Structure 1
Amino acid sequence: MDNDRLRECLDEDYTRLRKVAAGADLAARVPSCPDWTVAELVDHVAMVYLHKVACMKFGRPQEWPPETGGEEPLPLLERAYGELAAEFATRAPSTSAYTWYEPDQTVGFWVRRMAQETVIHRVDAELGAGVPIAPIPADLALDGIDELLVAFVSYGSRAWAEDFADVLAPAAGTTVHIAAGERAWSVEIAADGVSVADASGGVGTGASTSIAGEPDDVLLWLWNRAGDGAVTTSGDPDALAAFRRVLVAATQ
């Protein structure tokens, strides 16, 4: 996805998140994030925005969480998004910026990451408020699947090997075929990390397990925001469970 499209999606999902949260009981629990209330979800999103603004401004890792001055959740979210949008408006996506993903040290990484962060937490807000989940555009969902598999699962399994140590060894040798829309990915789990390859056009023959569905359903399943009924799975159920444990390690 290009930068303009990502920013368009980011703005739409922020706007939806803000509207849903404003109409919700802020003390309600968020079923997809059971440790959080809606207010705590909103606080988290605001702090993520402020943290990334600081990463871009100062070009180095920043302490987490950022100082918020005790603002109420909704005004804090509005202020934080305003700062984030202003930062993106003044920096080209190719501009150098600190990120946690070593292969991409640019502002464009944060545009993509914040668009994907926001759509998932927009869904969390909808679940917490008990309102229908608004559609996720197919292009955003496909981009989100790719980002999760490549940056969080594959890169993360090697960059933060200690976080994956307990789940990789038991899953070593597992192969997963993921299909969504016209795209597909092949995932190979080894004891020392996960490899992800574009498998578009392939059928996934020989994979230990496979997952298929509409792009938004697959994205939400991978982020544990949708149950197994949202997608079609086949193959070894133990392999599927092993892959799920790898996903949890990648997204916690």
Structure 2
Amino acid sequence: MNGKALIDQTRLLDVLEIEATVLAETVDGAREELRIPNCPGLTVGETARHVGSGYRVALEWIRTGDSPETWQREPGPFQSLRDYVISGVRELVDELSRHEPSEPCSTWWAADSTYGFWRRRMTHETVIHRVDVQAAMDLEIGEIADDIAVDGVDEILTLWLGHRLTVQGVVGTRDGTVAVRTGEKAWLVRVTTGGLGAWRVPGTDIDRTDRSRIDAEITGPPSNVYRYLWGRMPEIAVHREGDIDAINQMWALLRVATR
């Protein structure tokens, strides 16, 4: 399985820093107890801490070569949530900038053991949570560029559903294959009672053999499909056809993968 990003790695690093700044400025002075829509129990304050902590986890993992046991999980004394997020992302971006994206680096996905993995993973972590805090504060949701959204669709399907659930031994309750199409790209998600997998299809072409196995299909604008798969938009935001139960099973498995 190819785990590499679908877009330029320099662009990913730029987007990571921009999105983190928007998130940090949005939460600055906000009511921390505001609830995040579609994420039961999660608040604006918890989201900012989660993101700031995530930057520090990634940085320690990169530096030590393994999953860290300790890191700064909370803002320090007199440190605002804004500064906690900003200082975390700046240090992470500085470290990532020192290395070529293709350079080997410890990660939690064998399909992409490079510094590029962390550029991609932390960018999408930040984009989704930026959307969360804007939604919680009833602000206009900032645009997600098509190329970022398409790459995000690829990541959630191949990394989270295809890899993470396989490692956890999660399987389906029924067999079903769902095609996902957006931004001139396509993916197949196969869920069975014995296992599951997700893979890219070259372009939007699905060969005759695979097409005969497809039970359902999801299509829509890249940003909508991206946010729908992450559970941040309702089903009416995308077009769903075919076996809706197969789609619902895939969507439910994504919630398990990304919780």
> Which AA in structure 2 matches 1:184?
A
Alignment of 1:18 with 2:21, yes or no, is no
**Cα displacement (A) at 1:34:** 2.5
Quick one: distance in 2 between partners of 1:110 and 1:221?
A: 23
Alignment of 1:201 with 2:208, yes or no, is no
**Cα displacement (A) at 1:72:** 3.6
> Which AA in structure 1 matches 2:152?
G
Alignment of 1:230 with 2:237, yes or no, is yes
Aligned to 1:250: 257
> Which AA in structure 1 matches 2:157?
L
Aligned to 2:54: 48
Aligned to 2:160: 152
The match for 1:187 among 186, 189, 207 is 189
Q: Cα distance 1:22–1:58, how it changes in 2: closer, same or farther (>3 A)?
A: same
The share of aligned pairs that are identical, in percent, is 31
**Cα displacement (A) at 1:198:** 2.6
Map 1:117-156; keep pairs closer than 5 Å: 117-156=125-164
Aligned to 1:28: 34
The match for 2:173 among 155, 170, 175 is 170
**Cα displacement (A) at 1:137:** 0.5
Q: Secondary structure at the match of 2:231?
A: coil
**Cα displacement (A) at 1:66:** 4.2
> Which AA in structure 2 matches 1:238?
D
Aligned to 2:65: 59
Q: State which drifts further: 150-159 or 123-132.
A: 150-159
Quick check: 1:32–1:127 contact (8 Å CA) kept in 2? no
Q: Cα distance 1:12–1:75, how it changes in 2: closer, same or farther (>3 A)?
A: closer
Q: Cα distance 1:39–1:201, how it changes in 2: closer, same or farther (>3 A)?
A: same
Return 5+ residue gaps in structure 1 as ranges: none
Quick one: distance in 2 between partners of 1:67 and 1:131?
A: 27
Return 5+ residue gaps in structure 2 as ranges: 1-6
**Cα displacement (A) at 1:86:** 1.4
Quick one: distance in 1 between partners of 2:27 and 2:223?
A: 22
**Cα displacement (A) at 1:237:** 2.2
1:143-181 CA distances to partner (integer Å, 9 max, x unpaired)?
A: 1111111111111222121xx2xxx2413x201011112
Quick one: distance in 1 between partners of 2:257 and 2:73?
A: 26
**Cα displacement (A) at 1:83:** 1.2
The match for 1:112 among 97, 113, 120 is 120
Quick one: distance in 2 between partners of 1:231 and 1:216?
A: 10
CA RMSD across the alignment: 1.8
Quick check: 1:55–1:97 contact (8 Å CA) kept in 2? no
Q: Cα distance 1:100–1:221, how it changes in 2: closer, same or farther (>3 A)?
A: same
Quick check: 1:154–1:193 contact (8 Å CA) kept in 2? no
Quick one: distance in 2 between partners of 1:64 and 1:241?
A: 38
Q: Cα distance 1:51–1:14, how it changes in 2: closer, same or farther (>3 A)?
A: same
Quick one: distance in 2 between partners of 1:134 and 1:67?
A: 27
